[in-house]
A and B are shown apart, each in its own frame.
Chain A
Amino acid sequence: MRHDELARLTLRSLAYAELCTDEIERDGREVLELLAHSVERDDGRALERMIDDLGGHAPAPQVGARPPFLRGSVRYV
């Protein structure tokens, strides 16, 4: 892998990892180790794997926490 590609991959991986955290500092070394494993496979999908892996840690928002419907009708007059 070319040097500039590796630099970009590292930068994006670290930034992505940071953005996925929820006010908790992520250990940069952990991300770099993950990246190193990913790059070693040399199949051109290193960043893709990083996104899948790190994205899986992004906390899911509670979007479905609305109360259940209790259907009624509005009478139009």
Chain B
Amino acid sequence: MSEQVQGGLPLPGWGAAIDKTSSWRLTAWWRRGLFSALVLAQTLAGAWTMLAILPYHGSGVLELSLLAIYTLLFAWISAGMWMAVFGFAVRAAGGDPRSLLRRHRGRLDGTQLAPTAVLMPIYHEDVERSLRGLRATYRSLQQSGQLAYFEFFILSDSRDPERWLAEQAAWQKLCRELNAHSRLHYRRRRVNLKAKTGNIGDFLRRWGRRFRYFVVLDADSLMSGEALVKMVRLMEREPRCGILQTAPTLVNARSPFARLQQFSNHLYGPLFTAGLASLQLGEAAYWGHNAIIRTEPFMRHCGLRAMRGLGLFRGPVLSHDFVEAAYMARAGYEVWLEPGLDGSYEESPPSLDDELARDRRWAKGNLQHLRLLFGARGVRFAHRLAFLNGILSYAASPLWLAFLALSTAEVARFTLWPIDYFPSRYSLFPVWPQWNPGWAVGLASSTALILLLPKLLALVDAGLRTWRRRAYGGLARLLGGALLETLGSALLAPVRMLAHSRYVVGALLAIQVQWAGQNRSEELAWGATLLKHLPAALVALAWAGFGYHLKPMFFYWSLPVVVPLLLAAPTSVLLSRFALGDRLRRAGLWTIPQEAPGADPLLADLQCDALLERSRIGLGAFEMAILHPRRNVLARGMARSERGPRADRVRQLRERCLDEGPQALQRDELALLADSREALAWLHRSAWLAAPDNPWGARAEALALTVCTPRDNRE
């Protein structure tokens, strides 16, 4: 097996690592075998019960379709439940003895570090939040005393000059504040081919060979210095490990929606990640951020070509992380998920609509893996299962929707049409349809138990540990929070189901998905949200009315889906309100251990001084880059000189910008100016010399007045 590894670094502990590799594979075999047997047995029991419940016991296309969909969905939720059970067992046993952290415990401190780049690819993100996170990570690393081994790169793909000029100003401020001019770098790609993969590939081509490892952060990531140092040391001790993924926990939530996500992530997440890690072992997935990657094999084996197929399978690979992990493993390297690494954080979208906007991209990205699931050569079976898992995360929604539609059709068949005693055309004997309401209730109850058991186990897991129980505000608040979370999740599930179904169908029909930055800080407006959820509410109303017309019992059965869809708009708006989130926090509901005062200095550091100075007279980043002498020097330093026809176009634009003001120009026109050294210098000088009746002269006048007003009188 060792000959498969190309470009690995022969480091101390190589032989030992090979021995351990074979032993984890054996463990993986029996654990996965047991897991599969349990899921299969439970699924067969569920399918058999469903068969008994169906009036014609699976006869005819309609019932066979119902049975097939139900079996698939039952297998899906059973796998989730058993994953949590495995996680519970692992945690109850004090952790997984096969995990990297457990295996190298006690030997890490003496392990030498290696040059590591910390990358933050950004695209139209909240600059203030992203760079505050980077600042906290940087300071934490500084405090660990190991900063010398790390360099930070902000890799921007932003196209809007307002964004990139703000990014540059914040980066410069950060460099001054941290005295990090030689350690904190900023690069903006002018041509952002292949989105995030292209951005990282661009970095690797330029600087990759300088670093043995690179850590990828998301725009809302936060990592402690201790975690980063441990990750590098683990990689040094495990030369076969190509990617080491941490399990980031959600923090910093304000809106009720984000707090709900954060609470469930903290309470239930550890069980699922422990279970997942115990099954995947060295064949884990990469989640795209908060992970460390061995640079050389990544450059050699994980470069992703754009897909050349039709429709969905054309263009850049959107969910690149799973594919990169699969290719790393194909090259003979291991990919580990290490849930025991603390100090790895990320944030939740502030509202349901923002989460769904993100899911739209993820749905398409995961569905693209259909091609790799069956087509990619040499990919390990475990990674094919990871692709399947990702696909089902979204495909489960249209399956659920289809199940509801087919159930309605089945009830309609019995209510609106005469009973068919010969559903199979070539049968001499009649089939007497049978209803088993008792069995149906039993199956519904066991399905509910399968869905709720992970939550119950998580409550036991937290309740039995005194410090965790206290960190959640005591047993009463823990239980209250979990009950409220279950109610909230039940309200959100049908809305997610309908949205995901749309995304899956849209992806299969190859409807274009915009690559856009994520909203991480805004509340939802009533008007737009009501309009957005109106079609779903109307469909739900029609379905409920039809259900009532068919059979009142069917109508009551449909209510858990209908009511959340009718309430989708108010639910989304209320869950996005920061004030409500703050009140919940003050009441001690949905609190997490990290919210206790002084729980983690890293998170306190995130709330420190602002990086971006807000203009008192409301000037934007472009206007500030023109008027403010220091911001102008910075923007000029980052811009380029124009030649040829492009320079002529820039000259025309700058004249127009001076005469009519920046609001008269389109975004791409402003981008041309903001990227031209000469235009920036010319506009700066011209703006300050302009008469007061010129748009720029007026702005210069207003700025001058603000600057020259004594500070006490400015507010």
Which A residues lie at the B interface, using CB under 8 A?
8, 11-12, 14-16, 18-20, 22, 47-48, 51, 54-55, 58-67, 69-77
Is B201 in the interface zone, CB < 8 Å from A?
A: yes
Residue among B175, B210, B302 making CB contact with A77, cutoff 8 Å: B302
CA distance A24 to B705 in the complex (A): 19
Given known contacts A63-B634, A70-B207, A74-B201, A12 and B688 CB-to-CB distance under 8 angstroms: yes
B204: which of A16, A48, A72 is its contact (CB, 8 Å)? A72
Closest 6 CB pairs of A and B: A15-B704, A63-B637, A74-B303, A15-B707, A76-B303, A72-B209
Question: What residues of B have a CB within 8 angstroms of the CB of A8 in the complex?
Answer: 692, 701
Instruction: Please state if A71 and B630 are interface contacts (CB–CB under 8 Å).
Output: no
Q: Which of A15, A16, A67, A71 contacts B185 (CB 8 A)?
A: A67
Residues B181-211 near A (CB distance < 8 A): 181-182, 185, 187, 201, 204-210
- Please determine whether A67 and B704 come into contact, CB atoms closer than 8 angstroms: no
Q: Are A61 and B185 in contact (CB under 8 A)?
A: no
Contact of B703 among A15, A61, A73 (CB under 8 A): A15
A64 touches B637 (CB 8 A): yes
* Contact assessment for B704 and A12 in the assembled complex, using a CB-CB cutoff below 8 Å: yes
**Could you say which residues of chain B place their CB within 8 Å of the CB of A54?**
629
- Residue B410 at the A interface, CB < 8 A? no
Residues of A within 8 A of B206 (CB): 69-71
Taking CB atoms, residues of chain B closer than 8 Å to A62 are 175, 181
CA distance A63 to B480 in the complex (A): 53
**A16 vs B708: C-alpha distance in the bound complex, in angstroms?**
10
**Interchain CB contact under 8 A, B689 and A66:** no
Complex Cα gap A77–B151 (Å): 28
CA distance A59 to B208 in the complex (A): 31
In B204-233, the 8 Å CB interface with A consists of 204-210
Minimum C-beta distance from A56 to chain B (A): 10
Contact of B700 among A12, A22, A61, A77 (CB under 8 A): A12
27 pairs from A and B in contact (CB 8 Å cutoff): A8-B701, A12-B688, A14-B704, A14-B708, A15-B704, A15-B707, A16-B688, A18-B707, A18-B708, A20-B629, A51-B685, A51-B688, A55-B629, A58-B629, A58-B630, A62-B181, A69-B206, A71-B206, A72-B299, A73-B205, A74-B201, A75-B300, A75-B301, A75-B303, A76-B303, A76-B305, A77-B303
Shortest CB distance B211–A (Å): 9
Q: B201, B204, B634 — which one has the most chain A CB atoms within 10 A of its CB?
A: B634
* Beyond A18-B708, A69-B206, A73-B205, 18 extra complex contacts between A and B, CB < 8 Å: A11-B701, A12-B701, A15-B705, A47-B688, A48-B685, A51-B688, A58-B633, A60-B637, A61-B172, A65-B185, A66-B187, A67-B151, A67-B185, A70-B210, A71-B206, A76-B303, A77-B301, A77-B302
Is the CB–CB distance between B689 and A19 below 8 Å? no
Q: Is B373 located at the chain interface by the 8 A CB criterion?
A: no
Q: Are A51 and B304 in contact (CB under 8 A)?
A: no
Q: Which residues of A contact B204 (CB under 8 A)?
A: 72, 74
The answer to whether residues A73 and B704 also contact, given A51-B685, A63-B637, A63-B638 and a CB cut-off of 8 A, is no
Check A15 against B630 for contact (C-beta < 8 Å).
Answer: no
The answer to whether B336 has its CB under 8 Å from any CB of chain A is no
Q: Measured between C-beta atoms, what is the minimum distance from A41 to chain B in Å?
A: 16
Say yes or no: is B472 at the interface (Cβ < 8 Å to chain A): no
A-B contacts at CB below 8 angstroms, number: 104
Q: Are A71 and B701 in contact (CB under 8 A)?
A: no
Contact among B181, B205, B628 with A74 in the assembled complex (CB-CB below 8 Å)? B205
- B703 CB, min distance to chain A CBs, angstroms: 6
Q: For the side of the interface on B, what is the size category?
A: 35 or more
In the bound complex, residues from chain A placing their C-beta under 8 Å from that of B688 are 12, 16, 47, 51
One of A20, A47, A66, A71 near B205 (C-beta < 8 A): A71
Least Cβ distance of B641 to chain A in Å? 14
Determine whether B327 belongs to the interface, using a CB cutoff of 8 Å to chain A. yes
CB distance from A9 to the nearest CB of B (A): 10
Contact partners of A61 in chain B: CB under 8 A: 172, 630, 633-634, 637
What are the residues of chain A within 8 A of B327 when measuring CB–CB?
Answer: 77
List which B688-712 residues lie within 8 A (CB) of chain A.
688-689, 692, 700-701, 703-705, 707-708
Q: In the complex the two chains form, is B207's CB within 8 Å of A19's CB?
A: no
Chain B residues near A14 (CB-CB < 8 A) = 704, 707-708
B707 cross-chain contacts in A, Cβ below 8 A: 14-15, 18-19
Residues in chain B near residue A69, CB distance under 8 A: 206-207
Neighbour of B704 across the interface among A16, A55, A66, A71, CB < 8 A: A16
Q: Which residue of B lies closest to A52 (CB)?
A: B685
Q: Are B628 and A19 in contact (CB under 8 A)?
A: yes
Q: B160-190 toward A: CB 8 Å interface, digit per residue (1/0)?
A: 0000000000001001000001100101000
B629–A65 touching, CB < 8 Å: no
Taking CB atoms, residues of chain A closer than 8 Å to B701 are 8, 11-12
Min CB distance, A36 to chain B, in Å? Answer: 17
In the assembled complex, the Cα of A28 lies from the Cα of B108 at a distance in Å of 58
Question: Complex formed: what's the CA distance from A61 to B635 in Å?
Answer: 9
Tell me how far the C-beta of B692 lies from the nearest C-beta in chain A, rounded to whole angstroms. 7
Determine how close the nearest CB of chain A comes to the CB of B375; give it in whole angstroms.
13
User: A76 to chain B: which residues have CB within 8 Å?
Assistant: 303-305
Q: Which of chain B's residues have a CB closer than 8 A to the CB of A65?
A: 175, 181-182, 185
Residue of B nearest to A23 (CB): B176
0/1 string, B611-650, CB within 8 A of A gives 1: 0000000000000000011100110011000000000000
Beta-carbon contacts of B667-702 to A below 8 Å, as 1s and 0s? 000000000000000000100110010000000110
In the assembled complex, the Cα of A14 lies from the Cα of B692 at a distance in Å of: 17
Chain A residues whose CB sits within 8 angstroms of the CB of B628 once the complex forms? 19
Residue among B208, B629, B705 with most chain A CB within 10 A:
B629
**Among candidates A55, A58, A64, A67, residue contacting B210 with C-beta atoms closer than 8 Å:** A67
The interface residues of chain A lying within 8 Å CB-to-CB of B300 are 75
B207 cross-chain contacts in A, Cβ below 8 A = 67, 69-70
Tell me the minimal C-beta distance from B508 to chain A in angstroms: 26
Closest to A21 in B: B630
Residue of A nearest to B706 (CB): A15
* Interface positions of B from 110 to 161, Cβ below 8 Å from A: 151
Instruction: Report the Cα distance A54→B628, complex, angstroms.
Output: 12
On chain A, the residues within 8 Å of B637 by CB distance are 60-61, 63-64
Q: How far is the CB of B464 from chain A (nearest CB, A)?
A: 47
**Closest CB-CB distance, B619 to chain A, in whole Å?**
12
Q: Which residues of A contact B301 (CB under 8 A)?
A: 75, 77
Whether the Cβ atoms of A77 and B305 lie closer than 8 Å is yes
**Cα distance, A67 to B305, chains bound together (Å):** 28
Of all chain B residues, the one with the shortest Cβ separation from A18 is B707
The distance in angstroms between the C-alpha atoms of A73 and B208, with both chains bound, is 9
Bound-state Cα–Cα, A72 to B204, Å: 7
Provide the B73-105 mask, 1 if CB < 8 A to any CB of A, else 0: 000000000000000000000000000000000
